[in-house]
């Protein structure tokens, strides 16, 4: 197959034609500064407020509960640090999160820990699932915030968000969720699911890079994140990325309107990949098979290094990953795979395939055809695989 097969949609997605078309005028004819009082500026301001309404409607929120950001990482940091410092005024300096969060959350709470906050990192089970009872037991009178991701970016496990939110609501603790992987893949309802704050990133659902949003439930007190002008109701200074915000809203509506059709297609392709690839000897699927993002396939192959697998797949025109895009340059095994109990040597041999609606059955056929000989080639050169084979022979004696 001559063309590139892109199956790393959890890392980023291509901007859709509809989104690009909607953005272009705000770079050319409608380029006014939204803070200006003349018509060109007022037009840009109106576009931002229309985008706010669209984003809010997609998640059953009010427009005044939506704040635009530069992406998911900023939204995570803004939500967590803002509430943490606000709650610290009341003497509450305890934060609860999980061991499989994105580094935007983990590094954020680590920085707060250095500033005197206490952090409880809830362990997950072998499927990557958080037990809501563990969160309930961890909450105390000093708990300032609970932050649990909606769906994991590496293994695709979907958390019991509604139940966790219910516990937090009952105990009077603010609840934040990083929903970067959920939006566009799952139906999200911030009211029904008891969510107080939620992070969104446009480039995960065919919007542009460098723009995201933070949902903040009415009544939640958050601090200004960037000082300067009066943008975003005085809480985030800086001239707004009008084209990006418009693109985010168009992409989000397009994605949310199409969730059921997209999910059915992705699940079918995902399950076919899992069924075929797990026929390879000594492989295991990572994550929860039932409560799983529709396009996520995360598989570990014993006796190989993930980097070698990715390079050989790339030579075949297949773009995949071994974990989070934000740590793809690291030689360390995935913290998520270690958290679900995989030993280092198996965690190192992982492959993440994340499908999108642009993928085809023919591409799935090609991936299924390519992977087994690549695994066989890598294992034939691996001292680790040689030891596994020797051990098997000994056990059979």
- Positions marked catalytic: 326
Cα distances (angstroms) measured from residue 22 to each of 16, 35, 216, 275, 350: 10, 21, 26, 40, 38
Encoded tokens for 110: 């680590």
Is the distance from CB of 325 to CB of 8 less than 8 angstroms?
yes
H-run or E-run covering 78: helix 72-88
326 conformational bin, left if phi > 0, alpha if psi -120 to 50, beta if neither:
alpha
What span, in angstroms and rounded, lies between the C-alpha atoms of 214 and 332? 31
147: β partners: 176
Question: In degrees, to the nearest 5, what angle opens at C-alpha 326 toward C-alphas 324 and 328?
Answer: 65
Q: Are strands 296-301 and 118-122 parallel, antiparallel or unpaired?
A: unpaired
CA dihedral (209, 211, 215, 221) in degrees, to 10, reads 140
Query: Residue ranges of the alpha helices (H) in 6-71?
Result: 17-23, 39-58
What are the structure tokens assigned to 129, written together?
């699932």
Task: Check if the beta carbon of residue 182 is closer than 8 Å to that of residue 199.
Answer: no
Whole-angstrom distance, CA of residue 251 vs CA of residue 243: 12
- Please list the residues that pair with 319 across neighbouring strands: 6
Instruction: Give first-to-last CA distance, the chain, whole Å.
Output: 44
Give 333's DSSP letter: P
Task: Return d(Cα 46, Cα 33) in angstroms, integer.
Answer: 11
Phi (first) and psi of residue 305, to 5 degrees: -105, 135
Nearest CA to 15 out of 264, 203, 214, 222 is that of 203
Determine how many CB atoms are found less than 10 A away from the CB of residue 46: 12
Residue 237: HSE in the Cβ half-sphere, 13 Å Cα cutoff: 7
Six token digits for residue 188: 């999200």
Q: Is 354 helix (H, G, I), strand (E, B) or coil?
A: strand
């Amino acid at each position: 197959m001559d063309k590139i097969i892109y199956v790393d949609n959890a890392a980023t997605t291509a901007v859709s034609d509809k989104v690009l078309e909607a953005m272009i005028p705000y770079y050319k004819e409608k380029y006014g500064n939204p803070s200006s009082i003349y018509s060109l500026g007022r037009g840009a301001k109106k576009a931002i407020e229309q985008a706010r309404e669209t984003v809010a409607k997609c998640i059953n929120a009010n427009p005044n509960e939506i704040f635009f950001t530069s992406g998911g990482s900023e939204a995570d940091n803004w939500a967590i640090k803002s509430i943490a410092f606000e709650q610290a005024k009341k003497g509450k300096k305890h934060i609860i999160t999980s061991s499989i969060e994105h580094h935007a959350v983990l590094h954020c709470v680590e920085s707060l820990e250095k500033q005197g906050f206490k952090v409880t990192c809830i362990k997950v089970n072998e499927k990557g699932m958080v037990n809501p009872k563990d969160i309930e037991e961890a909450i105390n009178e000093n708990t300032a915030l609970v932050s649990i991701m909606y769906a994991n970016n590496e293994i695709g496990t979907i958390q019991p968000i509604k139940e966790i939110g219910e516990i937090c609501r009952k105990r009077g603790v603010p609840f934040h969720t990083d929903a970067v992987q959920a939006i566009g893949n799952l139906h999200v309802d911030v009211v029904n699911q008891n969510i107080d704050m939620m992070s969104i990133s446009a480039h995960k659902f065919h919007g542009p890079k460098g723009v995201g949003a933070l949902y903040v439930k009415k009544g939640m007190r958050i601090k200004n994140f960037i000082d300067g002008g009066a943008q975003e109701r005085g809480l985030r200074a800086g001239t707004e990325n009008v084209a990006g915000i418009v693109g985010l809203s168009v992409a989000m509506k397009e994605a949310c309107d199409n969730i059921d059709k997209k999910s059915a297609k992705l699940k079918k392709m995902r399950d076919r990949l899992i069924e075929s690839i797990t026929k390879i000897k000594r492989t295991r699927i990572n994550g929860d098979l039932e409560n799983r993002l529709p396009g996520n396939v995360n598989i570990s192959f014993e006796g190989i290094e993930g980097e070698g697998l990715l390079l050989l797949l790339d030579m075949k025109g297949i773009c995949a990953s071994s974990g989070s895009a934000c740590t793809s340059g690291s030689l360390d095994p995935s913290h998520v795979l270690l958290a679900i109990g995989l030993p280092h040597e198996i965690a190192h041999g992982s492959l993440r395939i994340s499908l999108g609606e642009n993928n085809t059955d023919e591409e799935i056929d090609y991936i299924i055809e390519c992977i087994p000989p690549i695994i066989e080639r890598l294992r034939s050169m691996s001292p680790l695989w040689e030891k596994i084979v020797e051990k098997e022979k000994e056990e059979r004696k």
